[in-house]
Structure 1
Amino acid sequence: MEMPWRAEVGQYVGFMHAGVVGALVDTACGDAAATMAGHNLLASHFSVNCLRPAVGERFSARARGIKPGKSQVFTSCELYALSEGTEVLVATGETLLTVVAK
């Protein structure tokens, strides 16, 4: 999942707001979980580690499934900032998703 930089997602100093960082991690993890366990999922817990200021022209969230189960799915994500052809890891995160009945 990728997103271009937009001033509206910045905080007062101009870095991407941590809430947007968290939303990217959560959404990418949800997409990864859906490929393993279907689309009836609900995030029950997620955590984000902001490693450095999220500054760049574009942001790329790369998530993967860790363990699918009957009632829970574990995922992990890395968020990169891309600027002038250089990629920098700015955050990591994990999500625990619950399988819900229709």
Structure 2
Amino acid sequence: MLEIVKATNAAASFNRWAGIEATQAGNGEAELRMNWRAEDMGQFAGFLHAGMISALLDTVSGYAAGTLAGRVMTSHFSVNFMSPAVGSAFVARGRVAKAGRKQVFVASELYAQPEGKGDDALKLVATGNAILVPVDELQLKPRA
């Protein structure tokens, strides 16, 4: 499953630009990692921009849901910003809370990794909740 998620991730131009890497995926769970770039990821005070936080949480939610439901699209998404996102890297984790035929509910967290520290020093900076819906290939084709 991780190889499928990695291929999906590599096909997304935004994810490639951001340097988002899929590190785990399977059984209703997924994990992403992204290194901090001060030159283009920060907001006015130098923290990771809320849009980047939201993108990481939404993406990890989709990958977690996809491990159980195949192709999905987000129908609802919310985020809670808990503290400034400051770190040398960021780790997003998502896990399916409930997977139905028409909706998949996912909870996610974003952690900041302090400079020079390992995963044991991760600090929770945001949480998210998403509802995703399974879609077939025909629904994913852009319309002219």
TM tier, smaller: over 0.9
TM-score normalised by L of structure 1: 0.95
- Tell me which of 41, 45, 48 is aligned to 1:9: 41
1:58-84 per-position Cα deviation (integer Å, ceiling 9, x unaligned): 000011111111111000111000013
Q: How many pairs are equivalent?
A: 101
How far apart, CA to CA, are the structure 1 residues paired with 2:136 and 2:34?
A: 31
TM-score normalised by L of structure 2: 0.68
Q: How does 1:12-51 map to 2 (within 5 A)?
A: 12-39=44-71, 41-51=72-82
Q: Give 1:101 deviation, angstroms.
A: 3.1
Structure with the larger RCO, 1 or 2 (CA within 8 Å, 6+ apart):
1
How far apart, CA to CA, are the structure 1 residues paired with 2:135 and 2:59?
A: 17
- Tell me which of 119, 133, 138 is aligned to 1:98: 133
Q: Give 1:99 deviation, angstroms.
A: 1.5
The yes-or-no answer on 1:89 pairing with 2:124 is yes
- Tell me which of 48, 62, 80 is aligned to 2:111: 80
How far apart, CA to CA, are the structure 2 residues paired with 1:5 and 1:20?
A: 10
Structure 2: runs of 5 or more not aligned: 1-31, 138-144
**Structure 1 counterpart SS, 2:51:** helix
Aligned residues: CA RMSD = 0.8
Structure 1: runs of 5 or more not aligned: none
- Tell me which of 99, 102, 108 is aligned to 1:68: 99
How far apart, CA to CA, are the structure 1 residues paired with 2:56 and 2:131?
A: 15
**Structure 2 counterpart SS, 1:9:** coil
How far apart, CA to CA, are the structure 1 residues paired with 2:58 and 2:123?
A: 19
How far apart, CA to CA, are the structure 2 residues paired with 1:101 and 1:15?
A: 38
